[in-house]
Amino acid sequence: MVKLQGFQTLTNVDEALKKWLDAWSIKKSQQIVLPLDDVSDVCGRVLAEDVVALDDLPCFDRSAMDGYAVRYQDSIAASQSCPVKLVVIDTDAEIAIGQAKQVWTGNPLPKGANAVVMLENTVREGNTLTIFSPLAPSINVIRRGEDVKKSQLIAKKGTRITPYIVGLAIALGYSSLKVYQKPIIAILATGNEIVTVGTQIGEHQIFDSNKFVLSAMCQELGTQTINFGIVKDNIEAIAEKIRQALQAADALITTGGTSVGGLDLVPDAVNRVGKPGVIAHGLALRPAMPTGVAVLNDKPVMILSGNPVAAIIGFEVFGRPAICKLLGLNKTEQRLPLKAVLTRKVSGVLGRKTYVRVLVKLEKGELLVEPVSAKGPSAISTMTKSNGYVIIPENCEGLKEGEIVLVQMFSNIVADEEVETCVS
């Protein structure tokens, strides 16, 4: 049963990703209606409907200032030396020629008025208001529909809901929105040496950390996760867990047992469960070469490395786009791309797409990209010391010091003191 060779060939990452994403479909995702006042549940969800303005916003002309609503025509002759006097009325009647009415910011504009003069530009004695300069039509007025016109598309189906979309929808009179149900991702760890967190560890055993990192990354993207536990390196036991996971979830992520060693049984277990099984295994990707992608029951299966960093990068490359598709998003959400200056050269490997972990700092207004010293795919401390990736393409030998590079940011930039502490 022992295979005596490494990966015979490595598959190009972009080709594998495209082929795999095309090899499974999104199930008719359940749509649910969520009330907008439960913002903690609504924000981050994905719209299952176009949000269209039900009316103009605002739906009446409003004053933009504290002051007096007037007819601009009455102000045309006003000047410092020759001010215009108007009569202040206090009823809901239409503003007639020569009249004014006090308004506060946000108040509806009284009928007949078509401009607002700011309080500080007026003098009032009794019911007489004096103004000293001409007003333009509609000055200091927020016109009906100025923010949004009725029937305008506010947010498209497949958009992730932000606090601002919630605010705009409420302002437009929505009290709920139709969203997609959260997809469910099953996560399974494999390996004889893996031990559950919180239990006693034996010699040469290691704690199961990957499952929780991957679970957190899935949840950050807006999915539910199911912890499918740890399974030993036994092909039938792994296959059985995979069968169960695919019953319970919309997608499966495994971690461990994915290289080509004697105990790397996950790809074979996947193929034992069904067709088409493994689509690609062994990728031109550094780290995370032993990553595999598969399809079972028309559901995506991600076969990630047991090495923590390789598992994380494998998830970034394959898990993120797959989950965006499962969520019903219009497009894969990329990490925020940031351009900055590389402080030290980094080497790539020709023919491999390389993910370099970097720490981006803001120093005296300058964004600097410092590569975090590479320690191999098992060193998860490199993830806590970095806040972004730089991707070196397959056809590039490396990046030069001083070069401007595009960084995909996965964590915040912290100020110098704190960063220093973390880099130690």
Query: Smallest distance, Å, CB 275 to a copy of itself?
Result: 28
Query: Smallest distance, Å, CB 276 to a copy of itself?
Result: 26
Q: Which is nearer to a copy of itself, 32 or 171 (CB)?
A: 171
Q: Do residues 11 and 280 lie in contact, with contact meaning Cβ atoms separated by under 8 Å?
A: yes
Query: Smallest distance, Å, CB 39 to a copy of itself?
Result: 4
Query: Smallest distance, Å, CB 190 to a copy of itself?
Result: 12
Neighbouring residues of 242: CB distance < 8 A, sequence distance ≥ 6: 188, 252, 254, 269, 270, 273, 296, 301
Distances (CA, A) of 43 to 38, 65, 107: 9, 32, 31
Query: Smallest distance, Å, CB 115 to a copy of itself?
Result: 15
Q: Which is nearer to a copy of itself, 22 or 363 (CB)?
A: 363
Backbone angles phi, psi at 103, to 5 degrees: -135, 150
Q: Which is nearer to a copy of itself, 237 or 413 (CB)?
A: 413
Among 181, 212, 178, 206, CA closest to 192: 206
Alpha-carbon torsion angle 5, 7, 8, 11, nearest 10: 180
Neighbouring residues of 276: CB distance < 8 A, sequence distance ≥ 6: 23, 294, 295
67-76: burial string, b at 16+ Cβ within 10 Å, e else: bbbbbbebbe
Q: Which is nearer to a copy of itself, 8 or 275 (CB)?
A: 8
Query: Smallest distance, Å, CB 311 to a copy of itself?
Result: 9
Q: Do residues 74 and 86 lie in contact, with contact meaning Cβ atoms separated by under 8 Å?
A: yes
Q: Which is nearer to a copy of itself, 114 or 122 (CB)?
A: 122
What DSSP character marks residue 221? T
Query: Smallest distance, Å, CB 367 to a copy of itself?
Result: 6
Q: How many contiguous H segments (helices) and E segments (strands) does the chain have?
A: 10, 28
Q: Which is nearer to a copy of itself, 142 or 279 (CB)?
A: 142
CB atoms inside a 10 Å sphere around CB 133: 12
Q: Which is nearer to a copy of itself, 23 or 39 (CB)?
A: 39
Query: Smallest distance, Å, CB 179 to a copy of itself?
Result: 14
Q: Which is nearer to a copy of itself, 211 or 241 (CB)?
A: 211
Pairing of strands 336-342, 366-371: parallel
In the structure encoding, which two tokens stand for residue 263, read together? 């105990």
